[in-house]
Copies of this chain bind each other. A is one copy, B any other.
Amino acid sequence: MDETARTRQVAAEYVDSLEHRDWPRLTAVLAEDVVYEMPQTRERIRGRSRFLQFNIEYPGDWHLQPRRVVADGRLAALWLDVRVAAERQDACVWLEVSEQGLINRVTDYWPESYDPPAGREHLVERW
């Protein structure tokens, strides 16, 4: 298995272990010094144990389905369909994998819905 294939597998395992609240499986794909960042809130979590705790404590009955997994060497991007009860949101996740094949950096974006600005109605359709 080449580096990209290994990264793709680790990225899929990351989402699947989160979805199943399988903390030992999640632990197995995280580097001990993993850094998790959410640039929208300027929040950062350092280290595997804190990051695990963050996920264990995360409120709501959340569910994650990968819409797209893009892997390239030791980088991956995940486009997720996230559901919390009747709410749906997309997420964009950027992963970096160490030489040892463990995730050492996770950057999450949680884009919210908003109203489009005026002036481009002649070019767009809405759904």
Q: Which residues of A contact B (CB under 8 A)?
A: 4, 8, 38-46, 50-51, 53-54, 57, 59, 68-72, 75-77, 79, 90, 92, 94, 107, 109-116, 119-120, 123-127
B40 engages A8 (CB within 8 Å): no
Contact for A43 among B70, B75, B77, B126, CB less than 8 A: B126
Give the residues in chain B near A54, CB-CB below 8 Å. Answer: 120, 123-124
Give the residues in chain B near A79, CB-CB below 8 Å. Answer: 77, 94, 107
Give the residues in chain B near A57, CB-CB below 8 Å. Answer: 119-120, 123
Give the residues in chain B near A114, CB-CB below 8 Å. Answer: 40-41, 112
Q: How far is the CA of A53 from the CA of B88 in the complex (A)?
A: 31
Q: Smallest Cβ distance from A30 to chain B, in angstroms?
A: 15
Contact for A42 among B4, B43, B109, B126, CB less than 8 A: B126
Give the residues in chain B near A126, CB-CB below 8 Å. Answer: 41-44
Q: How far is the CA of A121 from the CA of B33 in the complex (A)?
A: 19
Q: How far is the CA of A125 from the CA of B44 in the complex (A)?
A: 5
B94 engages A45 (CB within 8 Å): no
Q: Smallest Cβ distance from A95 to chain B, in angstroms?
A: 9
